[in-house]
Chains A and B, each alone.
Chain A
């Protein structure tokens, strides 16, 4: 077996459009790392790949859909969740995963994010948070901590940022976790849990953007950043999400873990139950 042949044993290989590699992500970028975790999580869940659909928006993480050999949709900026809503509701047998970045999902797409969580739509949202609009060269995103240097905040960020686990939880997500690109095993496990969860599941993965965010903020290399995650992450499962915000560029601790894991009827279950109750036999049940 040649060296490259051996690579084909990697569980991620059957997920990849290998004819499109190498990908566009920079050296040390954390996005690819999370894709390794995703492939292993899907395999562990036993989800047939033909039943899995992936939807991305625009941006670096938005390119994930393009590299995954699944039914994959690279949609418009911020609207991956809205597209996923239609995909899921029209065919509830599909396992629909939205994979996109912080600027895409909670910047331009914030409205769809909060409403999908509120509706408890049965989809999984994986958000790679690198604190910047990297594809366009590093502008400030709604997750960028105070003092971050971005191309549109050359004197540092002074506006408050989103605390994403709290945002998701307060809007109604039934599963909320945060990890970093250092925590590969935990990320995989969280993805398994999220994929198995009925309802709106959300994972924030903090990941290094060495070319843009780290460089501009003089935070070192991707390796330095992963080491920082390793040394400063504090696992607090069940933490009150109000307390997990990342408000400065280099906080003493990044709280990670599984914060929310609750049961609540998802959108379609609620729809079928409610309309069934109100309309009785006249109701044509959907997706069951």
Chain B
């Protein structure tokens, strides 16, 4: 089995120092630090600044940016670059991510390690191009047809836009899945302090290339962790990959057995490795009556409400998801067994994450949704009201 090979960032891509920049630019710098040397994108608000910066920076670092003719093209162009050996991303929002869905399925099926940055805006359709939403959280999980599994991270700050996109690239390499970096308009356009460390302080995962000779190599034969080793075009393996259901050789096999073997592994390689992928932040959860569970910009807005509630003497804990998918089911179950209620503020009205919490807690505690249609963030008072109600 290929061990995970950590290395440190290539200093060429690392803008070490203290900066004042917005989340979109920070995400671009994070991607460069992570070793991303290829981006394909198409202009769309509110994400465009990521690729604008990439197009300015990459000629000085060594790599390629190409503005493709649409998002469909961008979302497969980057996969070509990955199979030629580069780390690559595409960046989009709203209608753009809808257009990319087919190729998210392709990335899942070909097990192309790559990063899709989605700076979420209000929808549906053209919706609110310049204003925030968190209403793509289920789309990123289920958006393409068929069974597969992805990983999604969500930053709340500019610093995290830098830090966590590096993790997104690393997770993509470890598990060979498309990883979603679920930003939102607020985080993307918010300007604050960013500290970029020295390159040798940044941990980067190398691609899990096989050491097997071509005659022994099977492109989709998994290691014990269910992830297959990779090769790239030009290395003499003369391999085949297809979006059709395929066997370990990568050859199409159109029957129920092959389908079962393939889709179960695509799902299980994330599900079974989930304990290594889950990532969340907690505070004062242990003796809480109410826990506020959130992510991205909403988790940040919730901080104020939590502070206000604590001033009123309510015992409120906080759980913030950094990795949203896979969802930390056992931990949420455990919390549910100890609290009166879990309050879930998010910028969508159908409870895209709240619904997942409801499913997991199975009525053990109340789940209080704090829906918001997007266009702005919650008023902390709304979240406070929900906490007060939940604490009753």
A274 to B273, CA, bound (A): 46
Interface residues of A in 29-81 (CB under 8 A from B): 49-51, 53, 55, 65-66, 69-76, 79
Contacts of B222 in A (CB 8 A): none
A86 close to B84 (CB less than 8 A): yes
Q: Out of A53, A73, A86, name the residue touching B40 (CB < 8 Å).
A: A86
A69 close to B238 (CB less than 8 A): yes
Q: Out of B77, B83, B86, B103, name the residue touching A73 (CB < 8 Å).
A: B83
Beyond the given A86-B83, A279-B59, please list 20 additional residue pairs across the A-B interface where CB-CB is below 8 A.
A17-B240, A50-B235, A71-B238, A71-B239, A72-B238, A73-B83, A74-B240, A76-B102, A79-B76, A79-B103, A83-B76, A83-B80, A85-B40, A85-B66, A86-B84, A90-B84, A91-B233, A111-B70, A284-B59, A284-B61
Q: Say whether B237 faces chain A, with CB atoms less than 8 Å apart.
A: yes
Q: Say whether A189 faces chain B, with CB atoms less than 8 Å apart.
A: no
Contacts of A85 in B (CB 8 A): 40, 66, 68, 73, 77, 80
Total count of chain B residues near the partner, CB < 8 A: 47
Contacts of B40 in A (CB 8 A): 85-86
- The total number of A-B Cβ pairs within 8 Å is 139
Q: Which of B20-28, B241-249, B340-348, B367-375 contacts A (4 or more CB under 8 A)?
A: B241-249
Q: Say whether B92 faces chain A, with CB atoms less than 8 Å apart.
A: no
Contacts of A90 in B (CB 8 A): 37-38, 64, 80-82, 84-86, 88
Q: Say whether B328 faces chain A, with CB atoms less than 8 Å apart.
A: no
Contacts of B61 in A (CB 8 A): 284
B60 close to A75 (CB less than 8 A): no
Chain B interface residues (CB < 8 Å from chain A):
12, 37-38, 40, 59-64, 66, 68-70, 72-74, 76-86, 88, 102-103, 106, 232-244, 251-252
Contacts of A167 in B (CB 8 A): none
Contacts of B238 in A (CB 8 A): 49-50, 69-72
| Interface of chain A, main secondary structure | helix
Q: Out of A50, A76, A282, A286, name the residue touching B234 (CB < 8 Å).
A: A50
Chain B, Cβ-Cβ closest to A58: B243
Total count of chain A residues near the partner, CB < 8 A: 40
Chain A, Cβ-Cβ closest to B12: A284
A230 to B243, CA, bound (A): 37
Interface residues of A in 62-118 (CB under 8 A from B): 65-66, 69-76, 79, 82-91, 93-94, 111-112, 115
A286 close to B244 (CB less than 8 A): no
Chain A interface residues (CB < 8 Å from chain B):
17, 20, 49-51, 53, 55, 65-66, 69-76, 79, 82-91, 93-94, 111-112, 115, 271, 275, 279, 282-284, 286
A66-B251, A74-B240, A82-B73 known; A286 and B80 CB under 8 Å?
Answer: no
B240 close to A91 (CB less than 8 A): no
A86 close to B243 (CB less than 8 A): no
A70-B238, A76-B103, A283-B60 known; A89 and B233 CB under 8 Å?
Answer: no
Q: Out of B62, B69, B76, B237, name the residue touching A86 (CB < 8 Å).
A: B76
Smallest beta-carbon distance A58→chain B, Å: 8
